[in-house]
Chains A and B, each alone.
Chain A
Amino acid sequence: MRRRGMLLVLCLLALAVCLLRLLVDRPPGGTLSLAWPGASWMEFRRTAMLAAAIVGGCLGLAGALLQSMLRNPLASPFILGVSSGAGLGLMVAAWVSYITVGTAMTLPGSGGVPALLGAMLALSVVYLLGQRRGWPDPVALVLVGVIVSTVAAGGMMFFQHLVPTGLRGAFATWLMGTIPEVVPVWRLWLYGSICLGCWMFCQRLSSQLDASLMGDDESESVGVPLGRLRLLLLACAGALTAVAVTIAGPIAFVGLVAPHMARLLVGGRHILLLPGAMVCGIILLVGADTLRQAIDLGGGRMPVGVLTTVCGGFIFLVLLRMEMRRA
């Protein structure tokens, strides 16, 4: 009961952070204030808020699925190379678009299909090479994931090098992780629907996910078809990561920290953990994007990915320390 109450508190907190994102106002060179925006500004802020909420929810849920499936608290879309795979898919598509049409497609915000293909290709490689004795091995998966992530990151740098200097700057900004303020409404609906659809699907498997934490033999013996469950979870995690990378580029640490936050607050049962990780992801990313709005260091607004990397790393260390004390 207490855990369910905590989930409700998290939902209210997420709503409050989203509202704050709409209200925070800081014109370039101006002062920070809270004000309900006019119609034209409202559209930009609402789009950014919704995009950040979708990306945060996707990354939080993908992180929770991967950490449970691999029984590894350090697993995340980044560790497994899924984000880098999606990013590489997008970069290749942008480069092909540049050499064929003469202009690169808009990053971020478009290119969902190449991102999904890249994410799924990376996941397939990780899944196939991360097996031992015919079964996916949690440790081998992470090791292969790190290598795939590194290779894909190298590929992204390679394609960034192939485009002219001006375009290279746009690619570099995208690579840092940026929440867009202009995204067609139908895209937001599509990405939001994918995120909610994956959550509803995984929610139905929550008790089997609980059982999978006990170990391969234990979970198989209580009737969980582990091989099929892992395939389904990998597909969901891949789709969620592809959505996040398509909208905002590679954003670090949200997928790693959000599930830890949720586990501490709502416990380890997936019936609460999955929505909890999604809501924590929303709080973290919309919160970071709001904070980014308020910070002006004179060089323009920084990409949100910079903030999530710096703050997320620190929060992760604190969470890790707390979990170690609890154990």
Chain B
Amino acid sequence: MTLVVQDISHDYPSSPALASVSATARPGRVTSLLGANASGKTTLLRIAAGLLKPSAGSVTWSGNEVGEFAAAHRAASISFLSQRPRQDVPLTVRQIIQLGRVRLDPDPHGAEAIIAQLELRSLLDRPFPALSVGQQQRVHVARVLHQHQAGGLIILDEPTAPMDPRHAAVTLHMLQERALNGATILLSMHDIGLASSCSDDAWLLDGGSLACAGPVNDVLEPDRLQEAFGLAYEWVERHDGTHWLVPGSIHNKVE
């Protein structure tokens, strides 16, 4: 149950997006996809989920080409959250969460646990468009986790971007739990500190090419980050002895 991205290139009519990207995401591990804006993260995630056909290269899940999965098989194997899900869906929160299993057997107990963890119980009968963007994102995360089956692949494009810090932490904790139970998690994010604390592995994209991939602490080298983002980073030690990556210039300003 491994996601293998092999020599993926993709060109849009106006510009190239990805050039010869090869990497592997393994089961039981959370892999963060990092990179500046327009570095190709969303394109790579859509290709990895089998939703976009690459110009060249292949993506396999458990040895099978994801682009050739039948719709129901893909639903059972890969759960996906896009960067900008629609906000005007005329359904209730409960109905949207249930849609995660529209082609799968219902799992009401699993749904209840997810709803409780993401603190959505009081919102269940509310119309989805009436929620804040952060609440809507929690609903979509719940839908994706409800869809996920044991040993499957979960791909999320900036899942915590619109969330407050506590719900972002809850979401990442739930993803880590899934990984511990054998899931393969691939998610993009911009918060380098959060990525370093919640991920096992990282892929760093720079201008459509893979700058580095591997264990998160090996990838998130301050010099490499400065090259990819044009911003200095440094490790700081927290009171509990753990380390946190922060943008150097902001850190200096706080001091």
Binding site for B on A (CB under 8 A): 71, 207-208, 210-211, 213-218, 220-225, 263, 267-269, 326-327
Given contacts A221-B74, A221-B75, A221-B78, contact A210 B102 (CB under 8 A): yes
Q: Are A268 and B90 in contact (CB under 8 A)?
A: yes
Least Cβ distance of A219 to chain B in Å?
8
Partner of A223, one of B91, B92, B104: B104
Interface size class of B (residues with CB under 8 A): 20 to 34
CA distance A224 to B103 in the complex (A): 8
B96-113 CB mask vs A (1 if < 8 Å, else 0) is 100111111000000000
A221 proximity list for chain B (CB < 8 A):
49, 51, 74-75, 78-80, 147
A222 proximity list for chain B (CB < 8 A):
75, 99-103, 143, 147
> With an 8 A cutoff between CB atoms, is B89 at the interface?
yes
| Residues of B66-80 contacting chain A, CB below 8 A | 71-72, 74-76, 78-80
Least Cβ distance of B149 to chain A in Å?
12
Q: Are A217 and B80 in contact (CB under 8 A)?
A: yes
CA distance A142 to B45 in the complex (A): 30
CA distance A210 to B46 in the complex (A): 22
CA distance A215 to B51 in the complex (A): 12
> With an 8 A cutoff between CB atoms, is B82 at the interface?
yes
B88 proximity list for chain A (CB < 8 A):
71, 327
> With an 8 A cutoff between CB atoms, is B129 at the interface?
yes
A216 proximity list for chain B (CB < 8 A):
51
> With an 8 A cutoff between CB atoms, is B132 at the interface?
no
Q: Are A218 and B74 in contact (CB under 8 A)?
A: no
> With an 8 A cutoff between CB atoms, is B85 at the interface?
yes
29 contacts between A and B (CB under 8 A): A71-B86, A207-B102, A210-B102, A211-B102, A213-B86, A215-B82, A215-B86, A217-B82, A218-B80, A218-B81, A218-B82, A218-B85, A218-B140, A220-B51, A221-B49, A221-B75, A222-B100, A222-B103, A222-B143, A223-B102, A224-B71, A224-B103, A225-B71, A267-B91, A268-B89, A268-B90, A268-B91, A269-B91, A327-B129
> With an 8 A cutoff between CB atoms, is B95 at the interface?
yes
CA distance A89 to B100 in the complex (A): 43
CA distance A180 to B75 in the complex (A): 49
CA distance A327 to B96 in the complex (A): 17
Measured CB to CB, the nearest residue on chain B to A226 is B71
Q: Are A223 and B129 in contact (CB under 8 A)?
A: no
Given contacts A220-B51, A223-B71, contact A210 B99 (CB under 8 A): yes
A208 proximity list for chain B (CB < 8 A):
102
Least Cβ distance of A279 to chain B in Å?
18
| Residues of B29-56 contacting chain A, CB below 8 A | 46, 49, 51
CA distance A205 to B211 in the complex (A): 45
A269 proximity list for chain B (CB < 8 A):
91, 95
B121-138 CB mask vs A (1 if < 8 Å, else 0) is 000000101100000000
Q: Are A214 and B99 in contact (CB under 8 A)?
A: yes
Measured CB to CB, the nearest residue on chain B to A229 is B71
A215 proximity list for chain B (CB < 8 A):
82, 85-86
Least Cβ distance of B141 to chain A in Å?
12
Q: Are B85 and A223 in contact (CB under 8 A)?
A: no
Least Cβ distance of B91 to chain A in Å?
5
